[in-house]
Amino acid sequence: MSKKAWGGRFDEEPNALAARFSASVDVDSRLAEEDIQGSIAHANMLASIGVLTGADVKKITEGLAQILDEVRAGTMTWDASREDVHMNIEARLTERIGDAGARLHTGRSRNDQVATDMRLWTRAACEKTARHVDELIAVLIVRAHQTRHHLMPGYTHMQRAQPIRLPHHLLAWCEMLERDRGRLDDAQKRMNESPLGSGALATTTFPLDRQETAKALGFARPLRNSLDAVSDRDFLVEALAALANCAVHLSRIGEELVLWSSQEFGFVQMSDAFTTGSSMMPQKKNPDMAELVRGKSARVIGDLVTMLVLLKGLPLAYNRDLQEDKRPVFDAFDTVDDSLQILSGALATANFNKERMRAALRDGFLEATDLADYLAARGVPFREAHHVAGRLVRLAVETGRTLPELSLVELKKEHAMFEGDVSKLFDPEVLVDLRDVEGGPAWSRVQEALTDSMKRLRSRGTEAEKAAAKFGVVLT
């Protein structure tokens, strides 16, 4: 980086190590399209207030369009001595069109320029990630339809607890993802304000029209305070928090797929495309993609912590520390986008073992709560009914039987209110459909939930069947 770049204040060339240490173009070149977009809006506004001529703007916009073509084609040469994406593009533009390129920076600082670029990039990134969330929801909806007759144990404390439908479990994942998407939407709304025109920290003496540039770039309004506009990155914290929450949810899904694909569970067989073998043990089929989704969540959480620590001690306004905001943001979005698509593919191609899931319902005394409810429905105080059911479980354990294998005589010995109709509680299909409460696992409620999920997707412009078909799964 030449001392000439900084004008007459400096007599010495920067130290070579300092120049390398401070260069960021290897990371922020990813903002090239947003930087060009902001520059075009700025140039048009400068023309509208009489600072640039129409001829200048024509040269600038044409030159920037050519540079954009180079960026997209991968032929743009990034020069680390020019430090960052802004200086690289400005220098390339000036090389192409002369003094008009040098006039583009009138009334603008790299401080408001980079803040604008990051808001533009992150806004678009939120939209992209939200689409990937919707695709995973779509896959889960279709798989829920396909497995509507699959019954399985629901768990608490990793102990078999009560019978549910597999679609009910898949829809629980959908609800987690719905909230993740909502957080991304909320973050996107709050970041949709323009820093452009804030200058280094105190705007400029040029009569800039910040409303014009905000509108041109699709922002709802300019940020209200120039100091705040260039110095805060809370919009990135909010986006990263949404991503970290999503990554944690994806990790939990990955964990359940790891458990379910173990021989101990045997609930699911992952496809060859999303598993790996062992270099030593030929029998192994490892759920590595689910494990990596689980593991990569740590990186996203780390990215959020990085941003919080980066900001926690910064005085207003801009400080060079903020150069370090980009890498964690880019990494978090890339990691979550990849994880969402990996899980979409893995779940679309997984084979759920209906027989193994149903067999797991036979052990664990999953009918115990319903025996207590049976008595409570007949006027027995629930706490007493709970004790009765507990004694029956103990009897079954001591005699090496299941609850359905206990006789009616044995049931009545514990409480006289048991009658012959209690036997219906030993059919898991009946048990599940008795839970006909809003939000429950009865098939009628699951159908309602599936319909509602599909409507929510459709309201956002996504058809579940089409989105799922991208991953090779079809609604049946």
Instruction: Report the residue count for the chain.
Output: 476
d(CA 331, CA 177): 20
Tokens 């969330």 belong to 133
Phi-psi region of 95 (alpha: psi -120 to 50; beta: other; left: phi over 0): alpha
Residue 476's closest CA among 226, 255, 162, 147? 147
Which residues are the active-site residues? Answer: 157, 278
As a three-state string, the secondary structure of the chain is CCHHHHHHHCCCCCCHHHHHHHCCHHHHHHHHHHHHHHHHHHHHHHHHCCCCCHHHHHHHHHHHHHHHHHHHHCCCCCCHHHCCHHHHHHHHHHHHHCHHHHHCCCCCCHHHHHHHHHHHHHHHHHHHHHHHHHHHHHHHHHHHHHCCCCEEEEEECCEEEEEEEHHHHHHHHHHHHHHHHHHHHHHHHHCCEECCCCCCCCCCCCCCCHHHHHHHCCCCEECCCHHHHHHCCHHHHHHHHHHHHHHHHHHHHHHHHHHHCCCCCCCEECCHHHCECCCCCCCCCECHHHHHHHHHHHHHHHHHHHHHHHHCCCCCCCCHHHHHHHHHHHHHHHHHHHHHHHHHHHHHHCEECHHHHHHCCCCCCCCHHHHHHHHHCCCCCHHHHHHHHHHHHHHHHHHCCCHHHCCHHHHHHHCCCCCHHHHHHHCHHHHHHHCCCCCCCCHHHHHHHHHHHHHHHHHCCCCHHHHHHCCCCCCC
Enumerate the β-bridge partners of residue 163.
Answer: 153
Q: Are 195 and 220 in contact (CB under 8 A)?
A: no
